[in-house]
Amino acid sequence: MADVVVVGGGITGLTTALTLFHNDVDVRLLEASDRVGGKILTSYLRGTLVDEAADAFLVREPHMLELCEQLNLTQDLVSPATGAAKIWSQGALRPLPKKQFLGVPFDLDDLAASGVLSEAGLARAAEDLTMGADAPRADESVGSLIRRRLGDEVMDRLVGPLLGGINAGDADNLSLQGGVPRLAEAAAHDPSLIRSVQLHLQQTKRDPSAPIFNGHPNGTGQIIDALQERLKTRIALNQPVTGMEANPAGGWTLHTPAGPTNAKAVVITCPTFAASPLLADHSPTASQALADIDYASVTFVTMAFDKADIQRFDGSGFLIPRGEGLLMTACSWASAKWAHLGDGPTEYLRVSAGHSGDDRAMHMSDEDVVAQLLEELSWVAGVEATPLEVRVTRWPRALPQYRPGHLERVAGIEEALATDTPGVFATGAAFRGLGLPACVQQGRIAAHAAEAFAAGG
Ligand SMILES: Cc1cc2nc3c(=O)[nH]c(=O)nc-3n(C[C@H](O)[C@H](O)[C@H](O)COP(=O)(O)OP(=O)(O)OC[C@H]3O[C@@H](n4cnc5c(N)ncnc54)[C@H](O)[C@@H]3O)c2cc1C
């Protein structure tokens, strides 16, 4: 019997397994597919390694940096060459206001200069400074906060697209506390959101010149390769867990097509729609709550152009607000964003389509998606060239949606598991943060809980 079995080999499961491995715990990781990494995947396009999904991680949250340190990768990490993004608004690409925090403007002159808002939208945003306190008590949505304080235009043209670029979600239905805790914290200082963000930035004394993101010049997949190398034989690929049962003498038996695996404790890190059926017979409450978490699907199209055919974009890329009706939601101009992708003869663009409530791209053929995105790139950014090579990556049900009340739902899942299935823990992107640092942090916390259970149980 292993001490701990980890279900799922994305960044969360790999971090759980690494933490246990470093603590000399007998750990095994069962991964359903033929590779580890989950939503992290890097592959060659025109001879260069380019990410098919996550390409950067926040450095303010230390967990991913600490993992890179453990894997001896820190010296290789790079920061984006530019973070200046634009947004499609009023029929043109306009620079995002410089003085904004997660899309929330905190300087009205800077907001006016960006040209993103109409005169009426600017006047409505300014009302925030004089309106009284009007905060609801319960966990509200991001949209509710932004619309009541700063108006619809700030929401539809700034905050919504910016946050949508992170979770492909609808910020009107995104929990402020669970989905964007940094914004919840920044909004808590003063009834005026503008003043509150100003105060928050003063108090946190953030160095504006410090890099916000890091990435690896050979792609995020390098971090997965290093984890796999470290864990080696602890990982079993092509082993989908299809069921589990409690052993009368303690511990759990997990079933896979290759046969049963026994463990004193189990950490489930697969997406919640895959975790839910495993727990249906053991904890109907947890199983139902897991099934209730929605996911958005995205299609990622990476395009490689001959540098001679295309004029480099002035910035790291651009966002398209959902109300514009375009298929494209964002374009990351990867060779402008990353110096290592901009040095060679090829210009790389990573274009995304699809968000919660818009599955059009998932129902279109690859050819049709590419044709439509190229047409939109021509309208929006004047790209008229034909790509030398195109790669289409589908990410069905990939980004968990944190609805208002999300943190209570997660706490309910954890309580139900503690009562109904002692020794079984569930975590990952759908729980307390979907960014890579949050996944690493959650993987470590779950590892410590499982280790303690296995040692005492
Ligand atoms: C397109 C895209 C771009 C992104 N960009 C960024 C970014 O730039 N920066 C950032 O910080 N975050 C980004 N994210 C978010 C981040 O990459 C993910 O939230 C994170 O990688 C999820 O990791 P995870 O281990 O929790 O889950 P997953 O990666 O989903 O891993 C779960 C694993 O469980 C396996 N599994 C499923 N069912 C079973 C079963 N029954 N038995 C065994 N195994 C099973 C799956 O095959 C998978 O390998 C992006 C996400 C997407 C989709």
Model confidence over 16-41: pLDDT tens digits? 999 999 999 999 999 999 999 999 99
For the chain, which residues make up each domain, given as ranges?
2-40+61-73+220-294+403-456, 98-204, 295-400
CA-nearest residue, atom 25 of ligand 1: 10
299 CA from centroid of ligand 1 (Å): 14
38, 223 Cβ separation under 8 angstroms: no
Predicted local confidence at residue 135, as pLDDT:
84
**pLDDT tens readout for residues 170-201:** 999 999 999 999 999 999 999 999 999 999 99
Q: Is the CB of 402 under 6 A from ligand 1?
A: no
- Indicate if ligand 1 lies below 6 Å from the C-beta of 238: no
Q: What is the pLDDT of residue 274?
A: 98
- Strands of 193-327 (E only): list them: 213-214, 235-236, 243-246, 252-256, 259-268, 295-306, 317-319
Q: Which amino acid is at 423?
A: G
| Overall average pLDDT of the 412-434 stretch | 98
Assess whether the C-beta atom of 295 lies below 6 angstroms from ligand 1: no
pLDDT for res 206: 75
- 10 CA → ligand 1 middle, Å: 5
Question: What is the band of 1 on the pLDDT scale with cuts at 50, 70, 90?
Answer: confident
Lowest pLDDT segment from 193-207, 232-246, 391-405: 193-207
**Contact indicator for 338, 78 with CB cutoff of 8 Å:** yes
By CB neighbour count within 10 A (0-12 exposed, 13-18 middle, 19+ buried), where does 18 fall? buried
The tokens for 211 are 């890099």
Instruction: Identify the sign of the CA torsion 149, 152, 154, 155.
Output: positive
Calculate mean pLDDT across residues 347-374. Answer: 97
Mean pLDDT of the chain: 96
DSSP E strand stretches across 76-143: 85-89, 92-95, 100-101, 104-105
Topology of the domain comprising 98-204: protoporphyrinogen ix oxidase, domain 3 (1.10.3110)
- The conformational region for residue 238 under phi > 0 = left, psi -120 to 50 = alpha, else beta, is left
57 lines ligand 1 (CB under 6 A): yes
Residue 399: CB within 6 Å of ligand 1?
Answer: yes
- Whether 160 is in the pocket of ligand 1, judged by its Cβ within 6 Å, is no
Residue with tokens 């374009």: 331
CA angle 355/356/360 to nearest 5° reads: 60
Q: Which atom of ligand 1 is least distant from the CA of 242?
A: 41
CA 197 to chain CA centroid, nearest Å? 23
Residue-level pLDDT at 440: 98
Q: Residue 139's pLDDT is what? A: 85
Q: What residue's CA is closest to ligand 1, atom 8?
A: 54
Q: Which residues does residue 346 pair with via DSSP β-bridges, in sequence order?
A: 306
**Amino acid occupying residue 374:** L
Sheet holding 317-319, edge to edge: 92-95, 85-89, 317-319, 328-332, 346-353, 295-306, 389-400
pTM over 0.95: yes
9 within ligand 1 shell (Cβ under 6 A)? yes
Percent of the chain at pLDDT > 70 equals 100
Angle 14-418-430 (CA atoms, 0-180°, nearest 5)? 45
pLDDT over 90 at 319, yes or no: yes
Instruction: Please give the number of the atom of ligand 1 that sits closest to the Cα of 270.
Output: 34
Atom of ligand 1 nearest to the CA of 395: 53
Same fold for the domain at 2-40+61-73+220-294+403-456 and the one at 295-400? no
> Tens digit of pLDDT for each residue in 369-378?
999 999 999 9
Strands (DSSP E) contained in 83-215 are: 85-89, 92-95, 100-101, 104-105, 213-214
Counting ligand 1 atoms within 8 A of each CB, the residue from 252, 270, 298 with the most, and so the one to mutate, is: 270
And the tokens for 330? 């964002």
What distance in angstroms lies between residue 40's CA and the mean position of ligand 1's atoms? Answer: 6
Among 422, 65, 406, CA closest to 265 = 422
Q: Is the CB of 270 under 6 A from ligand 1?
A: yes
> Given a cut of 60, is residue 457 above it in pLDDT?
no
In this structure, which topology does domain 2-40+61-73+220-294+403-456 adopt according to CATH?
FAD/NAD(P)-binding domain (3.50.50)
Rounded CA-CA distance 175/172 in Å is 9
Distance of CA 86 to the CA centre of its chain: 20
Residue 138 pLDDT grade (very low, low, confident, very high; cuts 50, 70, 90): confident
The pLDDT of residue 353: 98
Contact 192, 135 (CB under 8 A): no
Q: CATH classification of 295-400 is 3.40.190.10, yes or no?
A: no
